[in-house]
Chain A
Amino acid sequence: MKPAPFGYADPTSLDEALTLLAEDGAKVLAGGQSLLPLLSMRLASPATLVDINRIPGLDSVAVSGDGVRVGALVRHVDLLHHAEAARVQPLLARATANVAHPAIRNRGTTVGSIAHADPSGEMTSVLALTGGSVTVATPGGPQAVDWADFFVGPLETSVHGPAVVTEAFFPALPPRSGTAFEEVSRRKGDYAVCGAGVTVTLDQDSRVSSARAAYISVGLVPEVHDLTEAVAGRTVAEADWSAAADLARTLVDPDGDLHASADYRRLLVGVLTERTLARAAREASGE
């Protein structure tokens, strides 16, 4: 349970980091809360760790009317307590509250967990649900990558070669919208057996115009499911959220594992969808 030997450098600029990352087997170290266990269990043995923690300018949360830009060194705890960010995009605080335990949130980075692309991670699905993107520093300059083009498979992204994900952008919640996020886990703070994040948007007449969901620990990559057709045009009071839950169950394709069968996960998708949509809708209607 000790990491295999590796080389280590902690550059103070992105350019230096990219130069170091051009070497074979070099890997970025940010919060390390997923990487260090992989090293200790020897599931990963990179030749070099390029620690980006001493690079200035990567630790800011920038909030505007468009959304929230989160730097690569922003810890989960910073987003959890960021009132301005929560006002523009409430899913950020709601989801980070479900990321592991306080000691992990103090160290782990939100952008790092997105770059790690674990299907049981909360922030990958939040990036998807909000229609977000990431900025990737490469030797050729920064590139913006849409969430849909970023996630390729479990623990796999479309980014190859020397690169550092420097920022994640979460668009603002539209007007007349509400959100909710909820997980089921065996123990508090454990990886979710199943989780759901949802947004509901109402039209000018307070009727549902959009209901969308993204799930945690369901499927290999984050996916956004449009559930609008089950509840479109209904008021918040008359919408049948169980119909949306039924639709969600037909759209997902969960796998079974040691922690839960595929059927149980599908059941949870329904339960969490109905519950979170109703809550998000009430919020959208200003209740």
Chain B
Amino acid sequence: MNHPTTEVTTERAITVTVNGVPRETTVPVRRLLSDALRHDLELTGTHVGCEHGVCGACTVLVDGTPVRSCLVLAVQVDGKAVTTVEGLARGDGRGGEILHPVQEAFRECHALQCGFCTPGFLMTMAAGLEARDTSTDITEEEVDEIVGGNLCRCTGYANIKKACRHAAGLMKDGAR
């Protein structure tokens, strides 16, 4: 991490561990994390919908916790770990990737139409399902709480909720 400072600056060098890889970049201090990921680090999986925290498409994990990346400045994640949708699948040890259960569930349940909102839903759902007690069956209230903050303009909510239930089942069975 670069040292915090009482000096007022308009540009900052930051170090962020993105999907497990330390990345260094210099950003204007007004750069939103969503834009830093897309423009500076060229990770365009994080989608920018409303840019004021309403739609949830830009949701990423900061130190494992889901946040709206359009509501965080890039300089504020200096020294922290960020996980984007590109980091959700894990390597299979043979150069390929194994999808996260929520990605598997989205494919299985046809939970994406145009796909624009999908990265945000995946990150929100992955964190929400990993935080819950997987020894119990997921309830409708839990599903609503997990996905309630994300918008899908194709209105494909029925299948997105279905995918959430399916992923919860996969994770209960120890798929990850």
Contacts and interface: CB of A to CB of B under 8 A. Distances in A.
A258 interface: no
Nearest to B48: A1
Contacts of B145: 102
B70 A40 contact: yes
Given A188-B148, A189-B148, A9 B6 contact: yes
Contact of A11 (B4, B72, B73, B76): B4
B12 interface: yes
A51 interface: yes
Contacts of A2: 30, 32, 35, 51
B115 interface: no
- Interface SS of chain A: loop
A36 B31 CA distance: 11
B5 interface: yes
Interface residues of B, number: 35
Interface in A1-60: 1-12, 16, 19-20, 23, 29, 32-33, 36-37, 39-41, 48-49, 51, 53-54
A92 B20 CA distance: 36
Contacts of A82: none
A3 B30 contact: yes
A103 B10 contact: no
- Interface SS of chain B: mixed
A110 to B, nearest CB: 16
Given A9-B9, A10-B75, A40-B52, A104 B29 contact: no
Interface in B132-169: 144-146, 148-149
A106 interface: yes
A39 B53 CA distance: 12
B124 interface: yes
B67 A53 contact: no
Given A2-B30, A37-B53, A10 B4 contact: yes
A9 B7 contact: yes
Contacts of B70: 36, 40
A102 B53 CA distance: 12
Contacts of B76: 10, 32, 51, 53
Interface of A: 1-12, 16, 19-20, 23, 29, 32-33, 36-37, 39-41, 48-49, 51, 53-54, 100-104, 106-107, 187-189
10 contacts: A2-B35, A8-B29, A8-B75, A10-B75, A16-B6, A100-B149, A102-B128, A103-B124, A104-B53, A188-B144
